[in-house]
Structure 1
Amino acid sequence: MKIDLKSLRDEVNYLNLEGTADSLGLKIEWVEFSSPVKVNLRVLRSGKNYIGEGKVETVALFECSRCLKKYSQPLKADIRFLLKEEKDQIILESEDRENLAQTGNFFKLDDLVRESLILSIPLKSLCQEDCKGLCPTCGTDLNVTTCECKKEKNDPRWEKLKDFNTEKK
């Protein structure tokens, strides 16, 4: 994904870009991207300075951490950047990362878009907030049906710790 900086007017510019997860280098073992990555940007050009902000959106396919079902979920992230043209370089200035310089009239957004999407991936993927998961004994999906397995209250390996006295004398 590139922005042609020379084509931007000295005012607010609106850009809609689209690419694939593969073209952005988004290869994550447990995530499958099922739709194109869309970037909607608002870029303000003022001389040799560019201020950009916008949204990154796509849809990803996850496996639920509890019941192991596949489900799709939209991913949305914000993106912001400040670019400055100096001599023959375009410099990305950021508080979050080191300044990055590129040459030419085009600015590649791939790294910013990829990082934004990676940060929007949930740490624990759940098909629904109240997912009951699988029965640890028989493997039945507890969201669909109940099972007749005996549920032990306590693990017998921890039984001796009940007698352990933690009070100070």
Structure 2
Amino acid sequence: MLFELKSVFQNDGEEKQVEYNLDLSGLDVDGVYPFKTPVVVTAKATNRASLITLVINAHFDYSRDCDRCGEPYTREMNMSFEHRLIQTLADEENDDYIETPDFTLELDDVVISDIFLSLPSKNLCRDDCKGLCQICGQNLNNGECSCDKRQTDPRLEILKQLID
């Protein structure tokens, strides 16, 4: 979505807000398509003393398989991002500002980038996920298994004999 910001840049105290749905259902994230519903995006640009601030809120459902137990889960995500906008950058290496030379901003690119950088690196169905039994493969979130967990590393077996 193209966000027209000319009035915001030219008028101190000016605000402009837009809300729209961004369809990311076809977006591949590590071989998975985790966006089952559109991302609801709200963006608000504000001019305060010639400093243009863009605040973006993104709300979406994120579906993945748990990295520990393998069970599918869906989590409701609410993310907020803030950026400073400038018409022209003096330094091309400056990542503190987003350049908008023609007073327009392609919001989709900014939102996708922000979401990707904020997604969890470890996908867990819940914070206290117990994972799978290393012996039988049972999901330990559903209950304990009857496997003997006291197995010793065969390399340390000689030390066990010394103790006995």
Q: TM-score, normalised by structure 2?
A: 0.74
2:148 aligned residue: 150
1:3-152 matches, within 5 Å, as 3-6=3-6, 10=11, 11-21=14-24, 26-29=27-30, 30=32, 32-45=34-47, 50-85=52-87, 97=95, 101=99, 104=102, 106-152=104-150
Q: CA deviation at 1:104?
A: 4.5
For 2:4 and 2:159, the matched residues in 1 are separated by 67
Identity among equivalent pairs (%): 29
Q: CA deviation at 1:145?
A: 2.7
Paired residue total: 155
- Give RMSD over aligned pairs: 3.3
Q: CA deviation at 1:73?
A: 1.2
Deviates more, 1:46-55 or 1:150-159: 46-55
For 1:112 and 1:150, the matched residues in 2 are separated by 51
Contact persistence 1:82–1:94 (CA under 8 A):
no
Write 1 or 2 for the structure with the bigger share of helix.
2
1:167 aligned residue: none
Distance 1:161 1:59, change over 3 A: farther
Contact persistence 1:76–1:120 (CA under 8 A):
no
Structure 1 unaligned blocks of 5 or more: 163-169
Write 1 or 2 for the structure with the bigger share of strand.
1
Distance 1:102 1:7, change over 3 A: closer
Contact persistence 1:134–1:141 (CA under 8 A):
yes
Contact persistence 1:15–1:40 (CA under 8 A):
yes
For 1:2 and 1:41, the matched residues in 2 are separated by 11
Letter of the 1:77 partner, please give it. M
